[in-house]
């Protein structure tokens, strides 16, 4: 028995098919046009420094939840992932589920922002955005939806300002930063973060990209492109691929001080879980007293499910719900299955709580 | 009939495809029958696909070009693998011999690789299939080039004869040289330069250690791949396409990588790689600052100090604004509740004040809106907002 059932003729045939796909893919590439992202119409309602607060235009026919929902995205990538294309939009799903959706775009920090701290981001920018929305709607409290690092920010914010948060939803949000399967956490333990920030000031997006690609280097830097061949003859699929590619490499630099504190306090010392975290004031998860919906992805290689599940039993709330999604860190926003399940589930959970 | 530009391009590409297909078939026939002439190119398929892309790339839109560049890199590797298979299959009795030949070539390549030589896969007859072992280091070099005033792979220049001398001996010699005490009027400047040299050596050593670990991992993965393929053959499930070979190879490599990077060994290698690059960069910045200071120009350190002070001022300003706003709201609420004087009553009716949510809280006895639990646990926490 041989390990290959291959003949030279079969190889030539395979290469011919490969060549055909490349040729036809080239035609599609020439005609692909501009790659657009962020498809749902929205209006800027507040801005400060690099930050812009957007409100998405609600569909006229939908009955809206009176309590607006603010999406807090991570600093490490761009928030248009939540609204990346017409049929893959968490934002659109939330609007359809009756939510009045706001979103913070943190922008691209430059060297003048190097000393922005987590206190500035959480008790400053985020708090002011919450106040703007409360005043616009004449409400004491609003709903928060935090995603990934933005989920961690939202948790900290909710612990510090529970009087301003009616309901909290976290998506793929790390709480335990040192689960045994957390590659990022394992790698940064011996990195001298003070040297990193003192030397570079802001942390370049390229450095973060290198780190994220190294989670699965051979798939993400090699095999993925060969796999593209299978969908190259489909213009829509090609466009989707290019859109995702644009997002993956659209990594803002990170404000140095905020990065320093995030890596040291969260990844290296796991203070959110173990205690001792200080962001303007002590952050205690028991201060999270509002209802919480915690959504995580079962195949998440960036935020392992256990890192999110660690929230269970650590909060001050009695109304805690978990939703497990069978997919990955990105699939939870963009997969077809996610579109059908995640935003409607969030909408239903929020609507049930007024 | 008039053809559009797109039609013309498409017709041209179809013609190219037909010609290429015919060429591949002819070449495969020649290789199969063992025909080899001096004029035959080394990698005709890979070179053909590369030429095709080079001629079309300028026409590609910017959004898609980078992706297609990567796709073509992969395609060249894939075509190289096909060429290797067709050529080797002509020389060997069966596919098992081809596999063993490949794996032996890889094993020898990785066993022979030493720090200080060309990248892991350079010069290897199967480099197209193995090239992704260089991906982490290659991407690191690109990233390093973005934050350093020199090419990312500049450490290659530090040890051209490293393989022959042995890196330990070379490093020792260099370190001795860089440790010669500096004397005289320029002593401090000399020390700074020596420090730069030592840090560059440290970084070179860190990159070599990182690459060595990957060479070892690649060697182990090759053996795992061989065992996996034999197992598949024994189970009666031989591989049916080049793509399948490639995918299995990547799958095994990724699994081996995932296991390795969670070890303490990798954690130390990673930390050393990052920290040594940053230490080198920090020393460069220090030297640049000294030059700038000598020219009476703003230094990096000075600008950094100004940025920090500006941010502190901004924070203070925002805090004061918030306090002021809260006081104004409290005042408004208090005025609305205050009893009116007889004169005010005679002049106009009491104004109706709309109290907004924020004003309601401000009017409440507790001025701080920070949760009681948080505030009580922090003596210095106070009203941060």
- Which pLDDT does position B373 carry in this prediction? 43
CA distance A296 to B310: 39
With b for 16 or more beta-carbon neighbours within 10 A and e for fewer, the B346-359 pattern comes to eeeeeeeeeeebbb
- Please check the confidence at residue B368 and state whether its pLDDT lies above 70: no
In the predicted structure, residue B249 carries a pLDDT above the cut 60: yes
* Tokens found for residue A190: 């011996």
Contact B275 A190 (CB under 8 A): yes
∠ CA B67-B68-B72, nearest 5°, is: 125
* pLDDT, tens digit, 9 for 90 and up, residues A277-317: 999 999 999 999 999 999 999 999 899 999 999 999 999 99
Q: Can you tell me which residue has the tokens 């080049």?
A: B242
pLDDT > 50? residue B358: no
CA nearest neighbour of A323 among A187, A173, A198, A186: A173
Lowest mean pLDDT among A8-12, A188-192, A324-328: A8-12
| pLDDT greater at residue B27 or residue A321 | A321
Provide the token pair at B54: 């080079």
Residue whose pair of structure tokens reads 């599609």 in the numeric block: A28
Higher confidence at residue B71 or residue A74?
A74
- Give the pLDDT of residue A68: 97
- Whether the predicted pLDDT of A319 surpasses 50: yes
Q: Does A63 touch chain B (CB under 8 A)?
A: no
Average pLDDT rounded to a whole number, residues A2-11: 74
Q: Looking up tokens 């640049």, which residue turns up?
A: B288
B329 token code pair: 């709201």
Do A79 and A101 touch, CB atoms closer than 8 A? no
Please judge whether B63 and A34 are an interchain contact, meaning their C-beta atoms are less than 8 angstroms apart.
yes
Q: Above 90 in pLDDT, residue B11?
A: no
What are the tokens at A290? 């509002």
Task: Tell me which chain B residues have a C-beta less than 8 angstroms from the C-beta of A16.
Answer: 21, 24
Residue B385 is predicted with a pLDDT of 33
Most confident stretch, B9-23, B91-105, B229-243: B229-243
Q: Are strands A88-89 and A165-171 parallel, antiparallel or unpaired?
A: unpaired
Comparison of pLDDT for B195 and B74, the residue scoring more: B195
| A284:B240 CB<8 A | no
Inform me whether the pLDDT recorded for B151 exceeds 90: no
Using CA atoms, how far apart are residues B300 and B226, in angstroms rounded to an integer?
Answer: 54
Residue B2 has pLDDT above 80, yes or no: no
- Give the Cα separation of A46 and A73 in Å (integer): 16
Whether ipTM tops 0.90, in short, is: no
- Give the residue-averaged pLDDT of A58-79: 93
pLDDT digits (tens, 9 = 90+) for A22-47: 777 777 877 777 788 888 999 999 99
Residue B377's pLDDT band, with cuts at 50, 70 and 90, is: very low
**pLDDT score, position A354:** 78
- What is the residue-averaged pLDDT of chain A? 92
A221 contacts in B (CB within 8 Å)? Answer: 70, 132, 135, 139
Is residue A129 among the annotated active site residues? Answer: no
Beta carbons of A336 and A307 less than 8 angstroms apart: no
What is the reported pLDDT for B158? 55
Distance CA B334, CA B350 (A): 14
> Shortest Cα distance from B377 to chain A (angstroms)?
7
Residue bearing the bigger pLDDT, B89 or A26: A26
| Residue B110 pLDDT class (50, 70, 90 cuts) | low
Please state the rounded mean pLDDT for residues A344-353: 96
Q: How confident is the model at residue B14 (pLDDT cuts 50, 70, 90)?
A: low
Q: According to the model, what pLDDT value does residue B152 have?
A: 56
Task: Read off the pLDDT band of B57 (50, 70, 90).
Answer: confident
Say if A66 is an interface residue toward chain B (CB within 8 Å): no
Q: Quick one: what percent of chain A has pLDDT higher than 70?
A: 99
What pLDDT does residue B183 have?
A: 72
pLDDT higher than threshold 70 for residue A348: yes
> Is the per-residue pLDDT at B353 higher than 50?
no
pLDDT of the residue at B344: 66
- Is the CB of A5 less than 8 angstroms away from the CB of B240? yes
Please give the model's pTM, rounded to 2 decimal places. 0.82
From A53, A148, A255, A293, active-site residue: A148
C-alpha count within 13 angstroms, C-beta hemisphere, residue B270: 22
Q: Which residues of B touch A217 (CB under 8 A)?
A: 132, 135-136, 139, 254, 257
Chain B CB within 8 Å of residue A248 CB:
no
Answer whether A235 touches B (CB < 8 Å): no
| Structure tokens given for B362 | 């401000």
Q: Which residue on chain A is closest to B89 by alpha carbon?
A: A8
Q: What is the rounded distance in angstroms from the CA atom of residue A289 to the CA atom of residue A318?
A: 7
In 3D space, the residue among A280, A219, A301, A209 whose CA is nearest the CA of residue A251 turns out to be A209
Cα–Cα distance, B248 to B170 (Å, whole number): 40
B179-206 pLDDT, tens digit per residue, is 777 777 777 778 888 889 899 889 988 9
Arithmetic mean of pLDDT, B324-347 = 84
**Residue B323 pLDDT greater than 60, yes or no:** yes
Mean of pLDDT values over B4-18? 59
Looking at per-residue pLDDT, the higher value among B32 and A324 belongs to A324
Query: B162: which 2 tokens?
Result: 């490293």
pLDDT score, position B321: 93
Residue B288 reports pLDDT greater than 80: yes
Most confident of A18-32, A120-134, B31-45: A120-134
CA A198 to chain CA centroid, nearest Å: 27
Alpha-carbon distance values, A305 to A157, A177, A322 (Å)? 22, 11, 11
pLDDT value for B361? 46
Q: What does the pLDDT read at residue A189?
A: 93
Give the pLDDT confidence score for residue A279 in this predicted structure. Answer: 98
């Amino acid at each position: 028995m041989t390990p290959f059932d291959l003949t030279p003729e079969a190889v030539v045939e395979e290469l011919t098919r490969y060549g055909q796909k490349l040729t036809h893919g080239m035609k599609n590439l020439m005609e692909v046009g501009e790659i657009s992202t962020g498809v749902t119409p929205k209006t800027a309602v507040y801005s400060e420094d690099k930050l812009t607060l957007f409100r998405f235009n609600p569909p006229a026919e939908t009955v809206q939840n009176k309590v607006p929902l603010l999406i807090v995205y991570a600093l490490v990538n761009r928030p248009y992932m939540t609204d990346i294309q017409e049929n893959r939009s968490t934002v659109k799903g939330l609007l359809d589920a009756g939510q009045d959706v706001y979103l913070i775009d943190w922008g691209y920090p430059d060297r003048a922002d190097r000393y922005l701290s987590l206190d500035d981001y959480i008790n400053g920018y985020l708090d002011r955005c919450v106040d703007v929305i409360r005043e616009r709607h004449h409400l004491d409290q609003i709903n928060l939806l935090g995603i990934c690092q933005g989920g961690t920010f939202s948790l900290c914010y909710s612990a510090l300002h529970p009087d301003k948060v009616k309901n909290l939803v976290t998506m793929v949000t790390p709480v335990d930063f040192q689960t045994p399967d957390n590659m990022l956490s394992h790698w940064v333990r011996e990195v001298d973060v003070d040297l990193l920030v003192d030397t570079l000031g802001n942390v370049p997006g390229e450095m973060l990209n290198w780190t994220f690609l190294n989670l699965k280097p051979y798939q993400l830097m090699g095999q993925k492109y060969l796999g593209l061949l299978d969908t190259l003859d489909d213009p829509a699929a090609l466009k989707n691929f290019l859109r995702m590619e644009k997002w993956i490499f659209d990594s803002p630099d990170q404000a140095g001080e905020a990065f320093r504190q995030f890596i040291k306090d969260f990844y290296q010392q796991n203070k959110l879980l173990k205690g001792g975290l200080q962001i303007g004031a002590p952050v205690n998860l028991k201060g999270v007293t509002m209802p919480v919906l915690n959504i995580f992805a079962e195949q998440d290689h960036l935020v392992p499910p256990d890192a999110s599940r660690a929230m269970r039993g650590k909060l001050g709330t009695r109304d805690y719900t978990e939703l497990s999604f069978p997919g990955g860190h990105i699939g939870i926003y963009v997969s077809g299955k996610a579109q059908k399940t995640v935003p409607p589930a969030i909408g239903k959970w929020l609507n049930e709580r007024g | 009939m008039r053809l559009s530009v797109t039609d013309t391009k498409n017709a041209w590409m179809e013609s190219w495809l037909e010609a290429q297909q015919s060429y591949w078939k002819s070449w495969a026939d020649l290789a199969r029958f063992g025909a080899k002439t001096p004029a035959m190119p080394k990698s005709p398929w890979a070179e053909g696909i590369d030429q095709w892309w080079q001629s079309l790339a300028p026409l590609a839109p910017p959004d898609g070009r980078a992706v297609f560049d990567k796709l073509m890199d992969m395609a060249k590797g894939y075509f190289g693998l096909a060429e290797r298979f067709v050529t080797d299959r002509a020389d060997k009795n069966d596919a098992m011999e081809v596999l063993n030949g490949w794996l032996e070539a890889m094993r020898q390549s990785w066993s022979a690789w030493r720090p200080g030589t060309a990248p892991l896969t350079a010069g290897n007859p199967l480099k197209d299939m193995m090239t992704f072992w260089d991906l982490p280091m290659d991407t690191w070099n690109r990233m390093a080039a973005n934050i350093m005033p020199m090419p990312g792979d500049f450490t290659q220049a530090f040890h051209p004869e490293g393989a022959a001398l042995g890196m330990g001996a070379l490093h020792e010699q260099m370190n001795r040289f860089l440790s010669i005490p500096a004397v005289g009027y320029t002593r401090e400047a000399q020390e700074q330069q020596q420090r730069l040299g030592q840090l560059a050596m440290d970084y070179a050593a860190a990159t070599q250690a990182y690459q060595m670990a990957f060479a070892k991992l690649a060697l182990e993965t090759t053996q795992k791949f061989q065992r996996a393929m034999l197992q598949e053959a024994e189970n009666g499930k031989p591989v049916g396409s080049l793509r399948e070979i490639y995918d299995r190879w990547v799958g095994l490599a990724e699994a081996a990588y995932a296991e390795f990077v969670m070890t303490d060994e990798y954690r130390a290698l990673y930390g050393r790689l990052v920290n040594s690059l940053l230490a080198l960069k920090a020393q460069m910045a220090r030297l640049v600052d000294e030059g700038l200071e000598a020219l009476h120009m703003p230094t990096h350190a000075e600008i950094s100090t100004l940025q920090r002070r500006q941010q502190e001022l901004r924070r203070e300003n925002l805090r004061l604004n918030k306090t002021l706003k809260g006081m104004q709201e409290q005042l408004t609420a208090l005025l609305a509740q205050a009893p009116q004087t007889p004169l005010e009553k005679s002049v106009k009716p009491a104004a109706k004040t709309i109290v907004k949510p924020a004003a309601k809280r401000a009017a409440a006895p507790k001025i701080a809106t920070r949760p009681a639990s948080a505030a009580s646990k922090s003596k210095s926490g106070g009203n941060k907002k």
